[in-house]
Amino acid sequence: MRRFADLYRRLDRSTATSDKRAALLDYFRSAPPEDAAWALWLLCGGKIGGAKAKIAASAELRAWISAESGVEPWLVDECYSQVGDLAETLALLLDDPPSRDDAPLHVWIEARLLAVSGRDADTRRAAVVRGWRSLDRDARLVFNKLLTGALRVGVSQRLAQQALAELSGVDVALIAQRMLGAWTPGAAFLRDLLSPEALPGDRAQPYPFFLASPLEGGPEALGALADWRLEWKWDGIRLQLIRRDADIALWSRGEERLDGRFPEIEAAAAGLARDAVLDGELLVWRPAETAPAPFADLQTRIQRRRPGPRSIGQHPARMLAYDLLELEGVDLRERPLDERRALLEALWRDSPGAHAAIALSPALAAADWNAAARMREGARERGVEGLMLKRADSPYRVGRRRGDWWKWKIDPLTVDAVLLYAQAGHGRRSTLYTDYTFGVWDGDALVPVAKAYSGLDDAEILRLDRWIRAHTIERFGPVRSVEAVQVFELGFEGVNRSNRHKSGVAVRFPRILRWRTDKRPEEADRLDALEALAR
């Protein structure tokens, strides 16, 4: 635990990416494999325990620290409110022990925490208190973060993979590929992860997805349109379809296998003329329609692990393929996009048995950037989010690498809404009210329609925080209702009808565009304006 606590402190105090990578290299080079595997798991967002096999809930931790420290429960809550981080609060409320337990990280996790996960409260409490009473403050902070699942320290999964690649000499793309999907931390996993040899499991894994960057401003700075390929920016779920040796797998960009959820896609994959790995978009698209169904329809399919005929009939899925990553076992990712597209089109022509649920995302043509801009402006009527711009000679890279692929999204829909509720943020914003709920008029009442927490600068956040504290009407736990007088312009990608929301609509990806100090609350928009936009 001590070695990992030292790494955490070093990462937390570093701002330069090169310093963080150096810290990771030093740790992975010296840590036992069992510890290094767990450190990788934690740094990449993995948590200890789970909802069904918990170690400790937040309320339990606060109650236990109150009993151990002698601090009254109300004062523990006040300390938590001021510090803003439960793990740090727990670490500060106890003195350092006269001697410390130097057991390694994997022992703390496997033998002491996971061993009591899901057991009775007394057993779990004893394990937690043992950690509090045998670790110094730095190690105790990390121990608490294992309990709360809040181990965020500015390290991306990509950065950890780069450190491992530099350490082992294994290509970072192969390391990223081997980490896709579910894996269990352990020395055996780390050994395979860093193996320079090809492993049988490599063929079962998808390739890491190449992600586009948002295009800010016009595309003229990209150079000649002839060097770029245009496609629609679909509003679905990114999908990688793998067919290797008659085995078929569907992987989402979220590294989740979707096998069984879309049997019509799997059946179509069996109709491909050759083994291949396709990259594309998963949508709900009804045969008689000229545009895909709203994203909400796709969500109903995602939630069903084994859909029945009725669900498939009401919400038929289709994959629009736009890239070919592998053909008959040959990795094509380093070849130019135009070559990969030509091979994809040839495979498509040879595979009529796949056409039932797999189609090609159309290649678009425009005379110049002005014509492309006009095409983009009509995207919303087509049920798409804008245009994708891809360099004709681009390889298929790993992660979000700027320069070759851009998403040129349409301007957001907007609405003027009234601030109704506010809640404190998390981490460094835990002492400020930064999470907001907004409403629009439905008759003479304001109904909530969106939650947003991004879009204001630091000065505006501070000014609004002071206003919220001075104009609170009621408190509901951590939430404050405020005087309904502040108007904000919100941007969002789309509106869907929703029975789960009191307003009857749900907006997608809401964010604050500006604080409308020039508007009175009665000038805010009405619910019927959103309903008219809903699909």
Q: Which sequence positions are flagged as catalytic?
A: 233
**Residues 405, 279: Cα–Cα separation, whole Å:** 14
Q: Do 398 and 210 touch, CB atoms closer than 8 A?
A: yes
Q: Do 240 and 204 touch, CB atoms closer than 8 A?
A: no
Q: How many residues are given for the chain?
A: 535
Beta bridge partners of 531: none
**Residues 522, 161: Cα–Cα separation, whole Å:** 52
H or E element, residue 17: helix 17-30
> Where does 455-510 show beta strands of DSSP type E?
472-476, 479-482, 487-492, 494-497, 505-508
DSSP letter for 327, please: E
Structure tokens at 49: 């325990």
**Residues 295, 364: Cα–Cα separation, whole Å:** 23
Half-sphere exposure of 423 (CA within 13 A, CB side): 13
**Residues 439, 484: Cα–Cα separation, whole Å:** 9
Contacts of 449 (CB under 8 A, 6+ apart): 415, 417, 438, 439, 440, 501, 503, 505, 507, 527, 530
What 190-198 contacts at long range (C-beta under 8 Å, 24+ apart), as own/partner pairs, is: 190/33, 190/36, 190/37, 190/40, 191/33, 193/164, 194/164, 194/167, 194/168, 194/170, 195/170, 196/168, 196/169, 196/170
**Residues 9, 207: Cα–Cα separation, whole Å:** 33
